[in-house]
Amino acid sequence: MRKFLASFLTLLLVLSLVAPTTLANQTSVQSTAQAQSTVELEVSQSLLSLTEVRTVDVKVDFGKQVSLDDLQWKFGDKSFEEWKKWNADAKAFSGESFIKVIKEPHFTSGTVIEATLEFGLPFDTDNLAPRSIRVLYPDLMGDYELTLSATEALTASTTVTLNVYDEFLKYDEIKPAIDKVFTDAEAKNDRYLEYKSLGKSVQGRDIPFVVLAKDKAAVDKYLNETLPTALDNPAKLLEKLEKGTIGDYQVPIWLNNIHPDEVEGVDFQVELLKKFAIEDVVTFKTTDENGTESTVTLNVNDALDHVIFLFNFVSNPDGRVANTRANANGFDLNRDNAYQTQSEIIAINEELAKWTPLSFLDGHGYVNGFLIEPATPPHNPNFEYDLLIDSMMDQAHAMGRAGVANSNLDSYFIPLTDWGNGWDDMTPAYSAIFAMLHGSLGHTIEVPTLSQDSLRALVHSGLGATKYVIENKDLLFKNQLTLFKRGVDGEDNRAVDQYYVNQAGEQIGRIRGDMENFFPEYYVIPVDENQKNVLEAKNMVKYLIRNGIKVEETLQAVNIDGKIYPKGTYVVPMKQAKRGLANAMLYKGDNVSDWDAMYDPIVVNFSALRGFDIAEVRVEDAFTRKTIPIKNVNHVILVENNLDTSVPKQVLKNSNNDVVKIVNNLLAKGKKVEYIIEDNYGFSKGDFVVMTKDLQPYRFKYVLDSIPATKTPKTVKLEQPKVAVIGSSQSTFSVKELGFKIVNIEEADVIIDDSGAFKAEELEGKTYVGIGGRALAAVKKAELLSGFDYKTTKLSHEGLLKANVTDHLVTSGYESEELLYTASGSWITSVPSGAQVLAKISNEDDFYVAGWWPGHESAKGQTLAFTTSVNDTTFSLFANDLVFRGHTQHSYRLLANSIFAAATKQPHKIK
């Protein structure tokens, strides 16, 4: 057939050269006979929905009488009958058709034909929230040709769109929608609109952000006058509020979405932007506490006299494109706000610190019901909870009443009053909870279904929240200023204590121990030769500054109770407005193991989990007039001898993650790297020997400990490791961050696993690094290690533990006593004969530092990690977590050391 067609086309080409006019006439006749003659198909609506049944009236005039019995419908390239509903049991589109002709085609006048179609619900539900559906519905979205054919040559068609709901926007449609709002607003009013990208996603997409205000002067006044005064001298503004002399001022309302597959959280913001940027008045319904309905009319210009709107439409652009909760690195960004390991969250939270909004609304879904925070206890003790909770409750009711009144949802609920536990605000990982540490009224709002109706509820929740802020602005700002004033004054007000309770409901207050004040006067972060990790110490200072925390640097050596802090020491004064945020990141944490349920891990403790030294100072004014404020930090430092270039080799101390990255980079470039396998000549096993000339390009890019190699320690040549990763995205991310080459299992020397998803035969001849309770369970089930056993209370239990670390190649760079973290509630009860124990949980009574781990008492004195070899396979098993959400970076080198030891082909029995 193909040969015949090619020959025919060749003949046509020849004929066209000989008789072009005749051929043109013939071709025209042929096209008329074969091509369809298309006329316009009129439809009553061209926007169809996956979550609402739509009835479409159709009209067409073919210009002549046609046989109604011969008419044929198509949607896209398929007949109506082929568009089947999803059958969940069969996991296929095999149900009845969701497109029906409910009024058959009929002539109405002359040659005009009319009909009525019904476009039903492809998934037989108006709720697309179930994950089994969420992965499917994007394939149905798009533009389709709706076609009615009278004959093969006579058709009528038009383009219709099938969307999730009317307002749903794909990622690529968000910026054009914003641009249109800007254009329409410019034509209608002079309100101030500013667009910018907050940064780039992992895959390089913009994070769109819009500021909407009365005018630019309002923005400038807030950022340059109101907020700086509120943070530095809140008493001044409080006095003006009291006297009524504060004048005109605006406060920010931040609207947010962080889970892009909870789609209404993106689209409700665009709808609110349209209303507040373009319209003169916004009208909606609400109810009072008795359910009596009323109509609210907001004059937008009047509203903008009081508020500035900040729209963070989508924190995770890559997730919006892929229709996933996680970003392209596989991280749930709503667990990263405190840790800030992901580029999107770093950029967004820097902007959040810049604005310090009064109200923060984070649009989510989908729980069983219409949920609006405040959350259940236990509450994070770093909140000034008494200054937040009443307003948050009132605002939640304002949102819920408006959301229900303008949708088909019949109720809302507030976890704090309707649940006993399990939806807590103890962790600052979530966006809205993290905002509360800035003094914001932070609300996570969960709509119950993925549907048109939930969008309406969320839009009107935003309107209800706005109305509440406008009507109560002075009171809300007064509370926020009082919160800041407590920080500036160093006041630990006991009014908060009533809100901090145990599982039994008994008041425990802030846990102060023997201290009068829950907060220290200062946190001190040394960066001299006694700091065990200068890299992470400096990273912490950068983190604090980026998040709006004031940091100072000593101008001279300071002696406090016999402890000398040299010039250049970083100091975090805790008498500052946002001391709660600083403390939440730096304090040791709390033990909430008495609670029956917790929503998420709570330990943050940067010092322990990132592995740097920090000190609390409780001497008042200890650093007064001995420091200067800093706005940035010099990241790079060479600790030893500033890289002595007169010596051909250097020893790189295995002291931080930058060293691991340098070593992997050198290996990738084919440079020689030696691995010290015995302690001698003052050098430690696990350190690296490299050529000085090879190290020089890194001296201003990385933080490294470098010692001239004036003597020759015992080493082996290090080969570039080949690493396979099975399990979580956080494992892959961490291994990549350290610079290791990731390959498939067949090629690998080392397998990293935190899921237990291996096949026993895959491990033969390799090093297996198993992390956490799931890996322990898999090794035990596979009976790979005789004499090995473990115990798990619950895989969601977590704890920061005092640990005793053994001197071993795998533990190189660690001290004999460390704080290690686990997030899978497990410990090792028995190790194989001949195995080398790497770490044990302390046998001290206070071994458990912080976290939620009912039953942790049984872990006291038990083994955390060991390594052993069986035949030609090495097993290094860790009950503690080495890569948890990219935050446990202090444990990264336990992972790296296990990999490097394998790459040397050295036995793990080295002591």
- Pair (655, 620) in one structural domain: no
Query: 14-28, 85-99, 258-272, 296-310 — which is least confidently predicted?
Result: 14-28
Structure tokens at 309: 């709107």
Q: To 5 degrees, how large is the angle CA 538–CA 543–CA 545?
A: 95
Percent of the chain at pLDDT > 90 equals 91
**Confidence band of 28 (pLDDT split at 50, 70, 90):** very low
**pLDDT at residue 681, rounded to an integer:** 86
CA distances (Å), origin 69, targets 43, 74, 150 = 21, 15, 9
Distance, in Å, from the CA atom of 743 to the CA atom of 746, rounded to the nearest integer, reads 8
Residue 247 counted as domain residue: yes
- Pair (684, 744) in one structural domain: no
Q: How far is CA 11 from the centre of its chain?
A: 63
Q: What is the mean pLDDT of residues 25-32?
A: 35
CB neighbour burial string for 739-756, b if at least 16 within 10 angstroms, e if fewer = bbeeeeeeebbbbbbbbb
pLDDT in tens, 145-192: 999 999 989 999 999 999 999 999 999 999 999 999 999 999 999 999
pLDDT in tens, 386-437: 999 999 999 999 999 999 999 999 999 999 999 999 999 999 999 999 999 9
Q: What is the DSSP letter of 279?
A: -
**pLDDT at residue 905, rounded to an integer:** 60
- Pair (577, 656) in one structural domain: no
- Pair (734, 708) in one structural domain: no
**First vs last C-alpha separation in the chain:** 76
734, amino acid identity: S
Residue 873 has pLDDT above 60, yes or no: yes
Structure tokens at 230: 């509120």
Domain end, chosen from 93, 128, 163, is at: 163
- Pair (483, 428) in one structural domain: yes
Structure tokens at 365: 């879904």
Distance, in Å, from the CA atom of 414 to the CA atom of 396, rounded to the nearest integer, reads 7
Domain end, chosen from 660, 690, 716, is at: 716
| Beta-strand relationship, 836-841 and 799-805 | antiparallel
Distance, in Å, from the CA atom of 222 to the CA atom of 310, rounded to the nearest integer, reads 13
Residue 155: which CATH number? Answer: 2.60.40.10
Structural domain tally of the chain? 6
**pLDDT at residue 680, rounded to an integer:** 87
- Pair (264, 194) in one structural domain: yes
Residue 908 counted as domain residue: no
Residue 9 has pLDDT above 70, yes or no: no
Distance, in Å, from the CA atom of 580 to the CA atom of 584, rounded to the nearest integer, reads 6
Q: What is the mean pLDDT of residues 263-278?
A: 98
Residue 277: which CATH number? Answer: 3.40.630.10
Q: Count the Cβ atoms, other than its own, within 10 Å of residue 390.
A: 13
Distance, in Å, from the CA atom of 241 to the CA atom of 235, rounded to the nearest integer, reads 10
**pLDDT at residue 636, rounded to an integer:** 52
- Pair (805, 731) in one structural domain: yes
Residue 3 has pLDDT above 60, yes or no: no
760, amino acid identity: A
Is the CB of residue 830 less than 8 Å from the CB of residue 868? Answer: no
Residue 516 counted as domain residue: no
**Confidence band of 682 (pLDDT split at 50, 70, 90):** confident
- Average pLDDT across the chain, whole number: 93
Residue 466 has pLDDT above 50, yes or no: yes
Is the CB of residue 865 less than 8 Å from the CB of residue 814? Answer: no
Domain end, chosen from 630, 658, 679, is at: 630
- Pair (28, 43) in one structural domain: no
Residue 567 has pLDDT above 70, yes or no: yes
Which residue range is the domain that position 658 belongs to? 649-716
Phi and psi (nearest 5°) for 128? -95, 15
Structure tokens at 166: 């009317």
Structure tokens at 448: 């119950």
Residue 894: which CATH number? Answer: 3.40.50.880
Residue 526 counted as domain residue: yes
- Pair (412, 268) in one structural domain: yes
Distance, in Å, from the CA atom of 844 to the CA atom of 847, rounded to the nearest integer, reads 5
- Pair (704, 763) in one structural domain: no
- Pair (66, 196) in one structural domain: no
Q: What string of H, E and C letters represents the secondary structure of 435-494?
A: HHCCCCEEEEEEECCCCHHHHHHHHHHHHHHHHHHHHCHHHHHHHHHHHHHHHHHCCCCH
Phi and psi (nearest 5°) for 135? -80, -10
Distance, in Å, from the CA atom of 184 to the CA atom of 187, rounded to the nearest integer, reads 5
- Pair (266, 369) in one structural domain: yes
Residue 58 has pLDDT above 80, yes or no: yes
Q: What is the mean pLDDT of residues 273-294?
A: 97
Q: H/E element holding 185?
A: helix 171-188
471, amino acid identity: E
User: Residues 6 or more apart from 360 whose CB is under 8 A from it?
Assistant: 253, 254, 256, 431, 432, 435, 436, 440, 441, 442, 443
Q: Count the Cβ atoms, other than its own, within 10 Å of residue 737.
A: 17
Is the CB of residue 627 less than 8 Å from the CB of residue 554? Answer: yes
Residue 413 counted as domain residue: yes
- For the chain, state the CA radius of gyration: 33
User: Residues 6 or more apart from 845 whose CB is under 8 A from it?
Assistant: 860
Looking up tokens 């599982």 gives 503
Residue 911 counted as domain residue: no
Percent of the chain at pLDDT > 70 equals 94
pLDDT in tens, 211-227: 999 999 999 999 999 99
**Confidence band of 639 (pLDDT split at 50, 70, 90):** very low
Residue 172 counted as domain residue: no
Strand stretches in 558-598, DSSP E:
558-560, 563-565, 570-573
Looking up tokens 């839009």 gives 459
Distance, in Å, from the CA atom of 794 to the CA atom of 21, rounded to the nearest integer, reads 84
Residue 500 counted as domain residue: no
